[in-house]
Amino acid sequence: MAEVQQLIQQGERLLNEFDYEGAHKRFKKALDKDENARAYFGKAEAALGIPEIESEDIIADYEKAIELEENPFYHQAVASFCIDVGKFEKAEEHYREAAELDPENKPHYLSELAVGYRFKAPVMMEKLIQQTGQGEDIILRKSLNYMLEALDIDRDKAKELLG
């Protein structure tokens, strides 16, 4: 076990030094010896800096870390990554899990979802928006609903306040 912890610490140090390949190797080596949430999480984080690694593999490592240790930070990290790669339903699922585990910070998670969705969805759905001319309003409405939920106000109250 001490060897696994040492490999994880080395991986985290290398990750902080932006040596993604070296960090990824350390986390992988730690996982060869023992399944560990921190090692899966670190492996996913290191993989972000290695273009050859597929997004599905990164998500799988994040989710394996979560399976081993429910942690709102892990959920937030994978949710943010999912936003970046256009997996919006999975992002919402993980942001909501983070909010459930850490209700005090629910507004933070939902507002991050709202803003991420608002600015990333149009880029990911550009062709659909150009073809139909309708996607932008759908994206804005969904984003606004996430933000209203983050603020814990309903539509009627928002209309009243903005009226």
Q: Which residue has the tokens 């999975």?
A: 90
pLDDT digits (tens, 9 = 90+) for 112-144: 999 999 999 877 776 656 666 666 778 888 999
Query: What is the pLDDT, as a whole number, of residue 116?
Result: 95
- Concatenating the DSSP letter of every residue in 61-104 gives HHHHHHHHS--HHHHHHHHHHHHHTT-HHHHHHHHHHHHHH-GG
Q: Is pLDDT of 29 > 60?
A: yes
Domain count, the chain: 2
Residue 75 belongs to a domain = no
Percent of the chain beyond pLDDT 70?
A: 94
Say if residue 34 is in the same domain as residue 106.
no
Say if residue 24 is in the same domain as residue 63.
yes
Say if residue 46 is in the same domain as residue 101.
no
Range(s) of the domain holding residue 37: 1-69
Residue 132 belongs to a domain = yes
Query: What is the pLDDT, as a whole number, of residue 140?
Result: 87
Q: Give the C-alpha separation, 146 to 150, whole Å.
A: 6
pLDDT digits (tens, 9 = 90+) for 33-83: 999 999 999 999 999 999 999 999 999 999 999 999 999 999 999 999 999
* Short-list 100, 88, 95, CA closest to 111: 95
Task: State the pTM of this model.
Answer: 0.89
* Short-list 45, 38, 3, CA closest to 22: 45
Say if residue 43 is in the same domain as residue 116.
no
Residue 50 belongs to a domain = yes
End-to-end CA, the chain:
61
Say if residue 50 is in the same domain as residue 101.
no
Residue 112 belongs to a domain = yes
Query: What is the pLDDT, as a whole number, of residue 133?
Result: 64
Say if residue 93 is in the same domain as residue 40.
no
Query: What is the pLDDT, as a whole number, of residue 94?
Result: 98
Q: What are phi and psi of 101, to 5 degrees?
A: -75, -30
